[in-house]
Amino acid sequence: MDPDVLRILDVNLNRTREALRVIEDYARFVRDDADAAAAAKRCRHDLRDVIAAAGADNLLAARDIVGDVGRDFKTAHELARQAPDDVVRAAFARASEATRALSEYGKLISPAAASAAESLRYRLYELEQRIVLRGELRQRFRGVRLYVLVTEALCRRPWLEVVEAAIRGGAECVQLREKKLPDREHLRRARQVRDLTARHGVLLAVNDRPDIARLAGADIVHVGQDDLSVRDVRRIAGARMLVGKSTHTEAQFEAALAEMPDYLAVGPMFPSATKPQAHIAGPSTLAAVRPRTELPLVAIGGITADNAAAVVGAGADCLAVSAAVISADDPEAAARALVACVPVSRG
């Protein structure tokens, strides 16, 4: 093998590996995002495919620190960082450049190595969006214990009053779930809830409609099994918005994981008058899928303060409810009782 090519591969493997360690530590210690940290770690380990193609010993033997004419050249910008966000952005830029070099020079030694480097570069593009664009929202969502779905028809009091009462009771995320409203009215209500949730520092989700969510400035779009894919939602709503997906079986859960949502809902946990279904996933399904991801898991369907302990015990990070709060005589008290069932999360 050409020793010059090996030197180029060696230095860019080192750049990539070092940048990924910086990214992993940011995800782990700054954002407390176990899912993103694990993704960075997998990328770092997958560099082994490129190393194996060149030969680890060959790369090491080609390394020439003393003879590297660019070793001591540093720009003023390269030596200045103001915050951890600057550090991670620089690390992603470095990793992107290095993996491009690996894919180009890797073609000289192994098509498989070049392909592995190219695949890694595209994975880093997605991971950068996950960490840099959505990192703060993802961190906020991991702190959500109660997620209240609001449909006017189920509210015993004026619907916007119910939203405010739920927030006072501790709901940290509110989803506007209206299936039959005309678009103009749907958007008007979404903007009303956005104003209210923004004042209280609460997340806003919109069910099914990435267009309404984007126009209203929502934080989250939530989709079901028959709705748009996560990828298509991002094309409409943009890469900054969180996307959650509902699942009802283990097979659906595995398929949804491959779409790379920001959280997954599992349910129904119990029979629900709000959304009757023939198949009840139950806490057992939640317990079965819990070890398969570091993403937040939202339990939904028939949950009340009386049965919430079983759901939390099965691995739920968050409880999603509708009638249990919005149909209650005292939505604030109902919300408070449910929040008390969920331990404070690491987020």
Residues 279 and 269: their CA atoms lie apart, in Å, by: 10
Catalytic residue flag (residue 140): no
Annotated catalytic residue: which of 103, 246, 272, 322? 246
Would residue 177 show up in a list of annotated catalytic residues for this protein? yes
Name the DSSP letter for residue 345.
P
- Tell me the three state secondary structure of residue 34: helix
Quickly count: other Cβ atoms within 10 Å of residue 268's Cβ: 23
Q: What's the rounded Cα separation, in Å, for the pair 130 and 128?
A: 5
275 an active-site residue?
yes
How far, in Å, CA of 279 to CA of 184, rounded? 34
Alpha helices (H) in 63-110, listed in sequence order: 84-106
d(Cα 316, Cα 288) in Å, to the nearest integer? 11
CA distance 117 to 111: 10
Alpha-carbon gap, residue 49 to 313, rounded angstroms: 40
Cβ atoms of 237 and 243 within 8 Å: the answer is yes
The active-site residue out of 17, 21, 191, 275 is: 275
Which structure tokens are listed for 288? 């079965």
Query: CA 291 to CA 186: how far, in whole Å?
Result: 37
Task: Judge whether 269 and 286 are in contact, CB under 8 Å.
Answer: yes
Contact present, 95 and 19 (Cβ < 8 Å): yes
Only one residue has tokens 């694990």, namely 38
Instruction: Report, as residue numbers or ranges, the catalytic residues.
Output: 177, 246, 275
